[in-house]
Amino acid sequence: MNYTPEQKAKWERVIALIQENLDGPSFNAWFRPLQLYAISGDKIYIVSNNSFTLRHMQERYGSMLISTMDMVFDRKYNPEFHTVEEIAAIDEKLSASTLNANYTFDNFVVGDSNSFAYAAAVAVAESPSESYNPLFIYGGVGLGKTHLMNAVGNFVMKRDPSKNVLLMTSETIANQLIEGIARKNTSELRARLRGVDYLMVDDIQFLAKTKATQEEFFNTFNDLRENHKQIIISSDRPPKEIPEIEERLRSRFEWGLIVDIQKPDFETRVAILKQKALEDSIDVPYEVLEYIARNVNTNIRALEGSLTSLHARSRLMGTPITMDLAAAALSGLVKERQERRVTCELIIDIVAQRYGMQSADLTGKRRSQDIALARQVAMYICRELTELSTTAIGKAFGRDHTTVLHGCEKIEDGMDADYALRKKVEELMRAVKED
């Protein structure tokens, strides 16, 4: 949807007011064919399936429509009229630079996995800040990066509609630049990028197309930052790990604040599902929400997808959503999960990765302090999460069972004394279980 329910209601109010003030035949001829298609920035896109009456309506009643809109809406909108045949063109225009009105701070569920990113986004939405510029948000697919950026944009626009907010994927920017270069006209895009108060570039990892796009973006970045305009960037990984990006650009990404979004924990997943069910008026028992949350833990898009397909199934079959229905609908997912066994190898891989080491470091001979700690953590987790004997665990690490026992004891003691270590181990165990 390209407008909010409130905007839609206001548009209907506009049309109702016009109907009150026109005779029936005129209203039917000129206004009945009109439909609200989208609202974006200060533009309201109206489509009609009758190009002839559309033209005449504009000439005769355009100013009446505008003045009625001014009365009803709490901000100034400029109408743009199109025939239904032109919808593709509108979509293109919209997708190049629009905010999704459905993604707001209000409907962003905050949990441990995203609270830092959320707080940072709210901070820059409230006031652009030197120290958070750029704000760099990274995290896996479907974890809420695009949602947060839209939320910033919607917040800013709502508070001050005169603000200029641009949200684009880096791919769109790169493509438009390449197009501009081919037509020997990059000034239009340049002016557009530099004329903003907030520039939000989604999925920056796709910027890298050509040297020219990086160069252009580099200059835009500097220009905006010098002029105290806020820049927000999202990526599926931290700046360091985007190989195709030039060093000078990468280092600029690190000037501001870098925040990450992790996979949501169980409670957050339940909360997200609960909200989604509420938003879409889906009637779901709480135990079903928990069931989905327990079984779908890859990302939030998948979580929402499961609820949506469950809802579709219940409507098709004309039955309410129950545990049985959920179990049937999600059986594929659940089976896959049960078949995946937790092994020492898996644990070693995950622990090594989280400590920024190679798996071979944990099974090898080296005894440096950080490697020894990671190794002991991995041993401890093996004992907690597998049914294996300490001898079998030892084997996976190329060590005997006394080393495993000793390692597990060290971690148990360590966790009692050191809260950070406890958190770390708990987080790792969660990662192992959920991977």
Which residues are at the interface with ligand ADP (CB under 6 A)? 103, 107-109, 114, 139, 141-147, 272, 300-301, 304
Nearest approach, Cβ of residue 122 and Mg ion (Å) = 19
Say if strands 43-48 and 34-40 run parallel, antiparallel, or are unpaired. Answer: antiparallel
Tokens of 149: 């950026």
Minimum CB–partner distance for residue 100 and Mg ion (Å)? 11
Report, in Å, the least distance between residue 278 CB and ligand ADP: 11
Structural tokens at position 134:
């750029």
Residue closer to ligand ADP, measured from CB, 31 or 155: 155
Residue number with the shortest CB distance to Mg ion?
146
CB of 198 to ligand ADP, least distance (A): 17
Complex with Mg ion: residue 146 or 297, whichever CB lies closer: 146
Give the CB-nearest residue to ligand ADP. Answer: 144
Nearer to ligand ADP, 74 or 106 (CB): 106
Minimum distance of ligand ADP from residue 200's CB (angstroms):
12
Using CB under 5 A, which residues numbered 106 to 145 contact Mg ion?
A: 145
109 binding partner (options ligand ADP, Mg ion, none; Cβ < 5 to 8 Å by kind) = ligand ADP
Type of residue at 353: Q
Query: Quick check: 170 binds Mg ion (CB under 5 A)?
Result: no
Task: Note whether 100 binds Mg ion by CB under 5 A.
Answer: no
Question: Would residue 5 be called left, alpha or beta, if left means φ above 0 and alpha means ψ between -120 and 50 degrees?
Answer: alpha
Compare residues 1 and 89 and give the one whose CB is closer to ligand ADP. 1
Least distance in Å: CB of 241 to ligand ADP? 16
- Total residues binding Mg ion (CB under 5 A): 2
The residues that touch Mg ion, with contacts defined as CB under 5 A, are 145-146
